[in-house]
């Protein structure tokens, strides 16, 4: 997915490398791809429409930052808009008298019981005294499952097959007070369908114990249907949050955008596996990257920008403009590149021709080369770094010995340095406008 969206955007943009601003036609072409990607990720079409309109408004006429190519610029805007659509992370409402009740609702098979145990484990690790209530008396297997999971996470489970769900939660609540528990997690009954009996039961529970949180557990794999489910539960009880489960599966969680955007209910947790520790506190940035199927791309885009904006770069630029680019600057540049992360990832990120050229070099070789260059430069005296012209044959031999390499390696580094220096001169002449050519 990442490859296809990024590649598709890159293709769209090959014709328009760095014209300075994104035109309407450019943006529309890019948004066609974004729209397809979102529909593909199961986002409801009405949400896609609203979303792309928002992106369009921001993107048309936007300056393309020097650190990014146009495709990356669009991805960045899409990602930011997605984060704002997904909403700020919200925590549990853990206030009020103890035990605070967290009620989990959802359809059968959504991962509700698993989520109850995961949540119990998480809260327990945060120092809470947690009691679980198995309020699903119609399915003995579900009760047994919670008892087993409770045992795994070291949390007591309240059960009583003679009671109906509202009575059971009430009793568990009383037990919670007596036992000095700070949190009661109620795993309510799940049916395969939303029906009146289920909804009445849920309402009855909320009347008895006044939950601090009512979390809807939704299977992210159900796609569009999730929106319908969320609306159904929201109309019955006051949902305070969502737990999206099975985010480790194929579904990229496009349903999350739809639910959040249409119902306004905040996402609080993601279930990311069957294991009892596979619960993530919701983070909109991560989820947005995931929905776009772009993994770490966003992180790298940000790193590229940050590296580009570094104060050091500005100082270097100032020196470059004054016609000086020393080996010290060269070494600082190397360091910046390394700061951006593993070189193989950076290669993938490089725009245009530079990316293609870079891909012909193996990451291991490049990494080795960077290290070698650093070692060689650090074996030089301060004077040599500032005035590379004084590096005659005997000095080069000394440096080679000092850094444990051959003289040829020193010569190669010097050649690379001279090329970088030439490049800087070009930039100096064009006032930075030479950059598009290098990246184009």
Q: Under rule CB under 6 A, how many of the chain's residues touch ligand GDP?
A: 20
Please, which residue, 145 or 170, has the CB nearer to ligand GDP?
145
Please, which residue, 12 or 291, has the CB nearer to ligand GDP?
291
Q: Which of 102, 105, 104 is nearest to 173 (CA)?
A: 102
Please, which residue, 233 or 325, has the CB nearer to ligand GDP?
233
* Lateral strand order in the sheet of 241-245: 156-158, 130-135, 183-188, 100-106, 213-219, 241-245, 267-271, 279-281
Flag whether 52 is marked binding. Answer: no
Please, which residue, 67 or 244, has the CB nearer to ligand GDP?
244
Q: Which stretch binds ligand GDP (CB under 6 A): 25-33, 123-131, 242-250, 351-359?
A: 242-250
| Collapsed DSSP state (helix, strand, coil) of residue 302 | helix
> Is residue 165 involved in binding ligand GDP (CB under 6 A)?
no
Least separation in angstroms between residue 190's CB and ligand GDP is: 5
> Is residue 110 involved in binding ligand GDP (CB under 6 A)?
yes
> Is residue 191 involved in binding ligand GDP (CB under 6 A)?
no
Neighbouring residues of 232: CB distance < 8 A, sequence distance ≥ 6: 194, 199
Flag whether 235 is marked binding. Answer: no
Least separation in angstroms between residue 132's CB and ligand GDP is: 12
Contact present, 88 and 29 (Cβ < 8 Å): no
What whole-number distance in Å separates Cα of residue 70 and Cα of residue 105? 44
Other Cβ atoms closer than 10 A to 439:
18
Please, which residue, 108 or 344, has the CB nearer to ligand GDP?
108
Selected from 23, 65, 93, 108, the binder of ligand GDP by CB under 6 A is: 108
Flag whether 85 is marked binding. Answer: no
Q: Which residue is nearest to ligand GDP (CB)?
A: 271
Q: On the CB side of 113, how many CA atoms lie within 13 Å of its CA? A: 22
> Is residue 188 involved in binding ligand GDP (CB under 6 A)?
no
Selected from 99, 106, 253, 254, the binder of ligand GDP by CB under 6 A is: 106
SS3 content of the chain, % helix, strand, coil (to 5): 60, 10, 30
Flag whether 408 is marked binding. Answer: no
Flag whether 371 is marked binding. Answer: no
Neighbouring residues of 255: CB distance < 8 A, sequence distance ≥ 6: 42, 43, 218, 220, 222, 223, 224, 226, 227, 244
Selected from 22, 130, 265, 272, the binder of ligand GDP by CB under 6 A is: 272
> Is residue 57 involved in binding ligand GDP (CB under 6 A)?
no
Site string for ligand GDP, 357-396 (x = CB under 6 A): ----------------------------------------
Please, which residue, 248 or 367, has the CB nearer to ligand GDP?
248
Flag whether 415 is marked binding. Answer: no
Q: Which stretch binds ligand GDP (CB under 6 A): 108-116, 226-234, 283-291, 302-310?
A: 108-116
Phi-psi region of 42 (alpha: psi -120 to 50; beta: other; left: phi over 0): left
Selected from 150, 165, 176, 190, the binder of ligand GDP by CB under 6 A is: 190
Q: Which of 297, 253, 252 is nearest to 73 (CA)?
A: 297
Paired tokens of 72: 């990356």
Q: Which of 116, 107, 115 is nearest to 229 (CA)?
A: 107
Least separation in angstroms between residue 137's CB and ligand GDP is: 14
Flag whether 106 is marked binding. Answer: yes
Flag whether 76 is marked binding. Answer: no
Other Cβ atoms closer than 10 A to 273:
16
Q: Name residue, tokens 């050091």.
A: 312
What whole-number distance in Å separates Cα of residue 440 and Cα of residue 351? 7
> Is residue 274 involved in binding ligand GDP (CB under 6 A)?
yes
Other Cβ atoms closer than 10 A to 191:
16
Question: Concatenated DSSP letters for 64-79?
Answer: PPTTS-HHHHHHHHHH
> Is residue 245 involved in binding ligand GDP (CB under 6 A)?
yes
Q: Name residue, tokens 């919200």.
A: 90
> Is residue 114 involved in binding ligand GDP (CB under 6 A)?
yes
Flag whether 210 is marked binding. Answer: no
Paired tokens of 89: 């992370």
Residues 121-160 interacting with ligand GDP (rule: CB under 6 A): 142, 145
Residues making up the annotated binding site for GTP are 106-113, 187-191, 245-248
| Residues of the shown chain interacting with ligand GDP in the complex, contacts defined by CB under 6 A | 106, 108-114, 142, 145, 190, 245-246, 248-249, 271-274, 278
């Amino acid at each position: 997915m990442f490859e296809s969206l990024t590649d598709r955007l890159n293709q769209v943009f090959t014709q328009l490398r760095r014209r300075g601003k994104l035109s309407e036609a450019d943006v529309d072409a890019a948004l066609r791809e974004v729209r397809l990607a979102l529909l593909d990720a199961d986002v409801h079409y009405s949400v896609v429409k609203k979303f792309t309109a928002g992106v369009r408004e921001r993107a048309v006429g936007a300056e393309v930052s020097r650190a990014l190519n146009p495709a990356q610029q669009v991805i960045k805007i899409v990602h930011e808009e997605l984060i704002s659509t997904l909403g700020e992370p919200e925590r549990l409402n853990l206030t009020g008298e103890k035990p605070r009740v967290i009620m989990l609702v959802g359809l059968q098979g959504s991962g509700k019981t698993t989520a109850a145990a995961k949540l119990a484990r998480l809260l327990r690790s945060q120092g809470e005294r947690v009691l679980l209530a198995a309020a699903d008396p119609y399915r003995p297997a579900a009760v047994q499952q919670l008892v087993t999971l409770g045992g795994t996470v070291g949390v007591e489970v309240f059960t009583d097959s003679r009671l109906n769900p509202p009575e059971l939660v009430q009793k568990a609540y009383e037990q919670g007070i007596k036992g000095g528990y700070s949190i009661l997690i109620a795993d309510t009954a799940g049916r395969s369908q939303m029906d009146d009996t289920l909804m009445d039961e849920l309402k009855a529970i909320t009347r008895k114990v006044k939950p601090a949180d009512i979390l809807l557990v939704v299977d992210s794999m159900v796609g569009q249907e999730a929106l319908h489910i969320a609306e159904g539960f929201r109309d019955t009880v006051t949902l305070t949050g969502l737990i999206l489960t099975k985010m480790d599966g194929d579904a990229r969680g496009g349903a999350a955008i739809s639910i959040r955007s249409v119902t306004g209910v905040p996402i609080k947790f993601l279930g990311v596996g069957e294991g009892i520790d596979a619960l993530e506190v919701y983070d909109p940035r991560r989820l947005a990257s995931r929905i776009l199927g772009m993994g770490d791309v966003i992180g790298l885009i940000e790193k590229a920008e940050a590296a580009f904006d570094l104060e050091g770069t500005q100082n270097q630029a100032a020196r470059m403009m004054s016609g000086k680019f020393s080996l010290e600057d060269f070494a600082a540049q190397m360091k910046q590149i390394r700061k951006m992360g593993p070189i193989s990832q950076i290669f993938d990120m490089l725009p245009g021709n530079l990316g293609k050229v870079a891909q012909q070099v193996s990451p291991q070789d490049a990494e080795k080369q960077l290290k070698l260059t650093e070692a060689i430069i650090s074996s030089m005296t301060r004077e040599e770094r500032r005035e590379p012209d004084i590096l005659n044959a005997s000095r080069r031999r000394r440096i080679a010995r000092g850094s444990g390499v051959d003289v040829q390696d020193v010569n190669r580094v010097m050649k690379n340095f001279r090329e970088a220096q030439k490049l800087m001169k070009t930039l100096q002449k064009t006032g930075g406008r030479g950059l598009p050519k290098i990246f184009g």
